[in-house]
Chain A
Amino acid sequence: MRTVEASVITEEISKMCIEANYHLSKDMMQVFGQAKDNETSPLGKKIFDQLCENLKIADTDTIPICQDTGMAVIFVKLGQDVHVTGANLTDAINEGVRKGYTEGFLRKSVVRDPIDRVNTKDNTPAIIHYDIVPGEQIEITMAPKGFGSENMSRVFMLKPADGIEGVKNAVLTAVRDAGPNACPPMVVGVGIGGTFEKCAFLAKKALTREIGSHSPIPYVSELEQELLTKINALGIGPAGLGGSTTAFAVFVETFPTHIAGLPVAVNICCHVNRHVTRVI
Chain B
Amino acid sequence: MATPNTPLWEVFIRSRNGLAHRHCGSLHASDATMALQAARDIYTRRGEGLSIWVVPSGAITASDPAEKGMMFEPAESKIYRHPTFYEVPEEVGHM
Answer yes or no: are A and B bound together in one complex.
no
Chain A contacts to B: CB under 8 angstroms: none
- List residues of B whose CB falls within 8 A of some A CB: none
